[in-house]
Structure 1
């Protein structure tokens, strides 16, 4: 078992107060807090080896390049990529998905083709496909979701007809449900269709092995797994990355440039134009190192225990209803709920005044809310540093809000 109180001491922001109350931070699906180990790694970079990478023969540039590329190795090992050059550094999950949508669409989509997404996608895994679909004359198909937040995959083989790529999330950011990603990938591959997995809400909670999943593409964000903002990962199978054209032009992604013709660099640099975020890469590597030291299976066990405790405690609150799966087995990280006819924003405001940070609204998943005919939800999302005291504060805060708003 992990020592959660010891872990909490690694996160300095948890020591602060909000409106005179000790901070209860339950907005981890939006962004996680950063441990001292990550802050120190980034600070050390800027204090000791700050330099551009790949382009200099001087000592600092070589040190920066070594640290930067070591981060790529760390990521590859973490998700078990077959090759380090299958790891593309991006600004986040959104850019990674936009990259695949734009590059795949250029060469692979034709008028009348379809792209299959699910009904529980984040806007970042809907809008890029709509944009390229409008350009190429392709349309979206949608895997439906039932009342419990589970994807309905009984008709998946039928839905896959005419589909050129499937793009689905591993864990829903709005409902917290763990989707049957292995079954979806296997079904798509039976039809020869590649699959992109949005793992932004998965890598911090579950073991993610791209070779075991057989994902063709997989994306996640640094800031969801205790790393810095503005940095993310696209994994792509070597065969697909070699096949796709570059996303952006500029420095680093070229081999030779003349006014007549440009030849492109090898992987992964073909997709990494311009000066990269060196500190971001180093910060993410430190965050992954932190998670690996704790052990992802230990994290999963601790979070499952806390999720069970939270769901049991919240069930005791009159008129509270969960949106999505109501058990801990099929959830990861997120509890989405409503209480009576209280608007989510009003609930969030009163919780905030008690020092409790939650998220309210449609969580960049408006089609999900439309599916359930609600304006949004209150979303409490867990991380490894949350404890039972946080849950007790949350439930007490909800009860107080109910009294004030009755």
Structure 2
């Protein structure tokens, strides 16, 4: 029963989400189910969820600060310049626009580490253009999720450096040494599967026009795409905005701390007088409004993770699975990736899942003779699996936050299901192949 607690709880969360139950309620129900299946009472299960919410407190705070930073960037007007130029160049070019969106999203992981905070700033002004072009928003969600996930899987810079260091440190602490260079090498093939998924989504699945009833997007951002006559030329405040973004990037890489990086960029925008001091309260409030829901979902997901970790349900699942596999590398790698998919789908965080997986995978891989490269592939792929497609993942919550600005984009059916199909399946297959080749 203990081993099945993870499986059943993830199924509860998935089924409730597919039935359009709010993601917070779905995660709470999954956590309670998993806890009670391990012998906890209802009160104890809820208490363990609440106690575990602090595990993502740093992430939640960083998202709020990144939201505030993104608000200051939008206040500078540089986002309007970008959107205006995109509209002029890409109007009517659906496929190219989707690839550009995927490229811009990719920059948020490595070059300009604002993660998902750019989405509520950049995407709502483009919704009218999407409707005019009959662009399938599921394709936009797929492009955004690719940019939020593939770069950190493959590129050891920005969030990717944090991801790769997390794998290295977790493997080292469990008795298997490996270098960052080897980890980067181990993730090339799995990451390539996501590239294949992106091309399938853009060029095949969501290539056809999808008609949508034209509704006006509320707020100032709804008018950006149509107010091209109010052209704003690039000036000193835009240059200073780029400097603030660069400072945030450098500090984040130097300290390895996203909160300090976001805070640096935010402070720089006020010091450079790009944003007046008197706007401080409204900037923070808008940042909380923008990212608060996502931050809270991440806290609830951390509580759920605490239940399945502290009760021993994850350990029991992997140990029971491993004990029945023998020494067949092909079968072992397949089952370990399935287990990783279940765990990450529930927790919703690749970064938070890696230490859990490494503690369980490294002993198994060492005992049956997997190489460090193959082990890193399994851990990295299993950690990334489920990030796309999970109702509790920022890689899906972020795209929905922008695409649902007018209330016409469903989180589960328009973001989670498309990204699960196009990224988890190829990532699984390519990771499975790589684990048996390296």
Q: TM-score, normalised by structure 2?
A: 0.28
Specify which structure has the higher proportion of helix. 2
Q: TM-score, normalised by structure 1?
A: 0.29
